[in-house]
């Protein structure tokens, strides 16, 4: 029998190892996208699905994963989540084409839906109220730190080993976590007789999945095609029915009464927008650095590292500052700071010096994001009935992840459209042979990953590469400008809709900061 203190440490270590796999995969695969595109000759939509099907499956079943832990035992569901995540990671590393990789990533997302709520549920169960805050503080610190680890380790593994290594690295982490979990006694289901909202889960999956599918595949089939129109209509209809079902369900997946709080509704909306901007930067910057600037995967990961480090070090300070001055001014200034960073990035072109062209914008974006995400999470929980604290937290998490899907999809759609238009114009200006020009234009779905045909001479290939890079930069600039507009709108919404001085928030922010400092 383990001593209680040792048991707590094992629970915390296993929880951190489990969630670390999820966070590493959330960023490392972005750095791997150019290498995956090159090996599989993948289209842009393939890359989007590799990146986004993981988040899609995670967000669709995130709330269900928490309820499964209550019904069948939190440790049991957490073990299933880790085991299936390890299996999915192994399959992803062994895939031979894009569809196989997309399927493995979907399984990773489903597994992560069990991991994310299960990780915190175990800590909550084994730590009493006096020590729980410090334990969760350590959990959050390591979780955020995994963004930086995923970037650096993932980049170097891709450069010196293979992009497949970013999936295989989960195997030892998962096995170590399972070894620790074997030492933890089995828990009893907390709500074994509760019925799950399976209809709500199905409708949420169809709603988000249908809309995102339409946004991604319209680049290949067009908005008027039957698959795109059908998927979009199914998604919108499912979302409408979902709201009606949740309003009448006895045990709803997402209680609509939560949204009677203006702070909670605003926090969810802003997390959707701001979380999406964060993910969009992790998606676009590796492509820009590797395919346009010519960086290696390792250099690209280091290039984005300042943003991850800002999130890690400033988030704790932001919570403390929000307790002193209130969340609203920090949210307004933070949103404007992110917007300024995006405007800076929108000014850049080909062959810019990293330190003068990219570092200021990346750092500004990281500082601004750190100043917004922590206070938003705290203010979203202010005034919520304690009975719904777990569900409220899950919905906030889901909002951020839905934003990851939707904002990235919208910005990629904008970038792809502008890229195609400019590529056609730039290639037309070169007066190339029709066969050469068509060979380039047929690759427009690959964005900056497009390649000149082999039959072109060296000089022509150089001009074609320049045309491709210029076209991508034009699309990238447009997306950064749209992102800056989103952040400006977020600042206005925070100023108008967030309460001036929610007293409960100050208390919560101070508690979070103090427990984190004591834990570290």
> Are 12 and 91 members of one domain?
yes
Residue 85 lies inside a defined structural domain of this protein: yes
Structure confidence at residue 32 (pLDDT): 85
In which band, very low, low, confident or very high, does the pLDDT at 219 lie, cut at 50, 70 and 90? low
Compute, in degrees rounded to 10, the torsion defined by CA atoms 289, 291, 294, 300: 30
pLDDT tens-digit profile of 432-467? 989 899 999 988 878 888 889 988 889 999 999 999
Q: What separation in angstroms does the CA of 391 have from each of 76, 254, 360, 387?
A: 20, 7, 38, 9
User: φ, ψ for residue 24 (rounded to 5)?
Assistant: -60, -45
Number of domains in the chain: 2
Quick one: which of 187, 380, 367 has its CA closest to 269? 380
Residue 418 lies inside a defined structural domain of this protein: no
Structure confidence at residue 520 (pLDDT): 35
Residue 448 has a CB neighbour count (10 Å cut-off) of: 22
> Are 126 and 81 members of one domain?
yes
> Are 223 and 128 members of one domain?
no
pLDDT tens-digit profile of 307-353? 888 887 887 677 667 767 878 999 999 999 999 999 999 998 888 88
Structure confidence at residue 194 (pLDDT): 52
Task: Say which CATH number the domain at 73 has.
Answer: 1.20.1250.20
Residue 94 lies inside a defined structural domain of this protein: yes
> Are 76 and 166 members of one domain?
yes
Q: What separation in angstroms does the CA of 278 have from each of 30, 53, 124, 217, 367?
A: 12, 17, 28, 23, 11
Quick one: which of 497, 479, 352 has its CA closest to 418? 479
Tell me the pTM.
0.78
Residue 74 lies inside a defined structural domain of this protein: yes
Report the alpha-carbon distance of residue 275 to residue 11 in Å, rounded.
Answer: 29
> Are 46 and 92 members of one domain?
yes
> Are 201 and 148 members of one domain?
no
Residue 406 lies inside a defined structural domain of this protein: no
Contacts with 38 (C-beta within 8 Å, 6 or more apart), sequence order: 449
Pick the last residue of a domain from 186, 209, 228. 186
> Are 77 and 211 members of one domain?
no
Residue 138 lies inside a defined structural domain of this protein: yes
Q: How far is CA 455 from the centre of its chain?
A: 40
Residue 509 lies inside a defined structural domain of this protein: no
pLDDT tens-digit profile of 399-428? 877 787 789 888 988 999 999 999 999 999
* 379/91: higher pLDDT: 91
Pick the last residue of a domain from 210, 226, 252. 252
Q: What separation in angstroms does the CA of 334 have from each of 16, 57, 247, 264?
A: 28, 30, 35, 19
**pLDDT greater than 90 at residue 509:** no
pLDDT tens-digit profile of 223-259? 789 988 999 999 999 999 999 998 988 878 777 888 8
Tokens representing residue 137 in the block: 């503080």
> Are 80 and 178 members of one domain?
yes
> Are 176 and 244 members of one domain?
no
Most confident of 185-194, 298-307, 369-378: 298-307
**Which residue range(s) make up the domain with 241?**
197-252
**pLDDT greater than 90 at residue 116:** no
> Are 17 and 94 members of one domain?
yes
Residue 51 lies inside a defined structural domain of this protein: yes
> Are 108 and 241 members of one domain?
no
Query: Is residue 497 within 8 Å of residue 262, measured between CB atoms?
Result: yes
Residue 299 has a CB neighbour count (10 Å cut-off) of: 16
> Are 87 and 162 members of one domain?
yes
Pick the last residue of a domain from 186, 205, 238. 186
């Amino acid at each position: 029998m383990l001593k209680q203190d040792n048991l707590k440490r094992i629970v915390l270590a296993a929880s951190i190892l489990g969630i670390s796999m999820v966070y590493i995969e959330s960023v490392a695969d972005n750095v791997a996208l150019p290498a995956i595109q090159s090996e599989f000759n993948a289209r842009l939509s393939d890359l989007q699905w590799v990146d986004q099907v993981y988040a899609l499956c995670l967000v669709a079943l995130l709330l269900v994963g928490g309820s499964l832990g209550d019904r069948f035992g939190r440790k049991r569901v957490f073990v299933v989540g880790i085991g299936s995540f390890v299996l999915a990671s192994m399959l992803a590393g062994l895939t031979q084409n894009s569809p196989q990789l997309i399927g493995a990533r979907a399984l990773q997302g489903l597994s992560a839906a069990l991991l994310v709520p299960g990780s915190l549920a175990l800590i909550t169960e084994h730590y009493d109220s006096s020590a729980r805050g410090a334990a969760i503080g350590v959990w959050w610190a390591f979780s955020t730190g995994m963004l930086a680890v995923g970037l650096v380790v993932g980049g170097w593994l891709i450069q010196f080993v293979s992009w497949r290594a970013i999936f295989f690295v989960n195997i030892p982490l998962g096995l170590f976590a399972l070894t620790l979990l074997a030492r933890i006694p089995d828990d009893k289901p907390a709500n074994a007789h509760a019925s799950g909202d399976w209809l709500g889960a199905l409708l949420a999956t169809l709603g988000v999945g249908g809309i995102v599918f339409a946004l991604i595949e319209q680049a290949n089939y067009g908005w008027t095609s039957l698959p795109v129109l059908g998927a979009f209509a199914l998604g919108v209809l499912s979302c409408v029915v979902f709201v009606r079902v949740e309003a009448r369900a006895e045990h709803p997946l997402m209680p609509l009464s939560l949204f009677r709080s203006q702070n909670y509704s605003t926090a969810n909306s802003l997390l959707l927008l701001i979380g999406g901007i964060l993910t969009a930067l992790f998606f676009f910057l590796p492509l820009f650095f590797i395919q346009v600037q010519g960086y290696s995967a390792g250099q690209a990961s280091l290039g984005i590292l300042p943003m991850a480090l800002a999130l890690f070090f400033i988030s704790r300070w932001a919570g403390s500052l929000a307790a002193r001055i209130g969340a609203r001014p920090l949210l307004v200034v933070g949103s404007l700071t992110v917007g300024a960073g995006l405007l800076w990035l929108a000014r850049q072109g080909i062959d810019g010096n990293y330190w003068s062209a990219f570092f200021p914008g990346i750092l500004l974006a990281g500082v601004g994001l750190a100043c917004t995400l922590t206070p938003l999470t705290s203010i979203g929980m202010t005034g919520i009935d304690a009975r719904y604290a777990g569900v409220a937290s899950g919905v906030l998490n889901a909002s951020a992840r839905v934003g990851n899907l939707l904002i990235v999809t919208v910005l990629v759609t904008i970038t792809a459209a502008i890229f195609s238009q400019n590529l056609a114009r730039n290639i037309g200006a070169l007066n190339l042979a029709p066969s050469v020009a068509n060979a380039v234009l047929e690759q427009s779905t690959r964005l900056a990953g497009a390649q000149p045909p082999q039959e072109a001479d060296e000089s022509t290939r150089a001009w074609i590469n320049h045309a491709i890079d210029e076209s991508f930069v034009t699309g990238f600039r447009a997306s950064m400008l749209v992102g800056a507009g989103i952040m400006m709108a977020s600042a206005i919404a925070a100023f108008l809709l967030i309460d001036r001085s929610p007293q409960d928030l100050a208390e919560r922010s101070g508690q979070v900061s103090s427990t984190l400092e004591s834990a570290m």
